[in-house]
Amino acid sequence: MLDSSLAQEIAAIDGVELDSEVTFADLTTLHIGGKPRLAVRCRTTAAVVAVVKLLDDASLPLLIVGGGSNLVVADGDLDVVAVIIEADAVSVNFAESTITAEAGAQWDDVVAFSVESGLGGIECLSGIPGSAGATPVQNVGAYGTEVSDVLTQVQLYDRHSGEVSWVPASELELAYRYSNLKFTNRAVVLAITMQLLPDGLSAPLRYGELARRLAVSASEWQPRRPIRLVRDMVLELRRGKGMVVDAGDHDTWSAGSFFTNPIVDPAVATSVFEKVGEPTMPRYPAGEDKEKLSAAWLIERAGFAKGHPGPGAKAALSNKHTLALTNRGEASATDLLRLAQEIRAGVHDAFGVTLVPEPVWIGMSIDD
């Protein structure tokens, strides 16, 4: 717990509710993690600002929590206050084809709202769990689209200057699963605005599997499809891979893709290619003199099958997707950590490539 006068001061803020019972196992999609010193639920963005300011002034470590879908948290008591954002208003400006969402809005509700509003551009990001406010943090992406394609501005609370302002998305250095907000804790996203397409059609489809399922022909230039059709197909594809959260399905008790796709020198990509000898090995240009490999493919070729290490394990690879590390119901943080270390070491031994975890770790690290 906190010093009781500070806790009282926080509790007195409008739109705040203290929760001294909740654990990170309750707050995360991995269903793993111990107890924060205190959890503070904030129903308005003004409450978020006031709470973060008080905690920062008292030099108390805090963690902003949205949907907990990109968090790997240690067991036991954690020296951190969880600030849970629950401000979730979403509005549309039809004249400008923009949608603005408060940080605590569930991302998939925002996507559904955009589809109902006839605005295209984020349908390929359907089914990604978590909050709208977290989407810029690691520039979420799926099926050929990234939030950076549509994000115009974010409302930030700058924890150093204490100011709230709207900042152009271009200042976030958005790149593959990266922004300058990730791992820095320098600012809190209070709201986001996206520029969408008004004609009821999707953004051009760039992802092969999705395009094939939507009967796109190879000769079609910048193929687009009705947004509802694309959303439904993306959700279907994601469900097949265990990538839509479902409390009853342990294959979805994960943090999504556990490792990022490694970006390596071409010589490393060629050495992997020569070791495996598969002409269809996935490798893509990734900027100047770099190539992107598929982490899932590397894990499989290093000898880890879906479901590894098998029935009975508390933590295992998803039975539907090699890149998701899952809690089979009773896994501890250590069970998950050991599995992550085994996979990373196996890929390194096989190919000399070091996989980098995608989620944010709290209270432990893959190097422990």
Which residues of the chain form contacts with ligand FAD (CB under 6 A)?
29, 63-71, 85, 103, 128-131, 133-135, 137-138, 140-142, 181, 188-189, 243, 245, 252, 254-256, 360
Residue 201 and residue 214: Cα distance in Å, rounded? Answer: 13
Contacts of 249 by beta carbon, 8 Å cutoff, 6+ apart: 242
Which single residue is written with the structure tokens 């687009």? 224
Cβ proximity to ligand FAD: between 104 and 120 the closer is: 104
With contact defined as beta carbons under 8 Å apart, do 73 and 133 qualify?
no
Cβ proximity to ligand FAD: between 63 and 272 the closer is 63
Cα 272 from Cα 189, distance rounded (Å): 40
Minimum separation from the CB atom of position 167 to ligand FAD (A): 12
Nearer to ligand FAD by Cβ, of 42 and 298: the residue is 42
Q: How far is the CB of 125 from ligand FAD (least distance, A)?
A: 7
The active-site residue, picked from 131, 257, 318, 332, is 257
- Compare residues 193 and 252 and give the one whose CB is closer to ligand FAD: 252
| Angle value at C-alpha 139, between 136 and 142, nearest 5 degrees | 130
Q: What are the φ and ψ backbone dihedral angles of 110, each rounded to 5 degrees?
A: -65, -40
Amino acid (one-letter) located at 166: W
CB of 198 to ligand FAD, least distance (A): 25
CB atoms within 10 A of CB 87: 21
Residue 161 annotated as catalytic = no
Alpha-carbon distance 27 to 162, whole Å?
Answer: 27
283 catalytic, yes or no?
A: no
- Is 177 one of the annotated active-site residues of the chain? yes
Q: How far is the CB of 38 from ligand FAD (least distance, A)?
A: 16
Q: Which of 41, 159, 177, 328 is catalytic?
A: 177
CB contact at 8 A, 335 and 315: yes
Given 86, 102, 146, 358, the catalytic residue: 358
Positions marked catalytic: 177, 257, 358
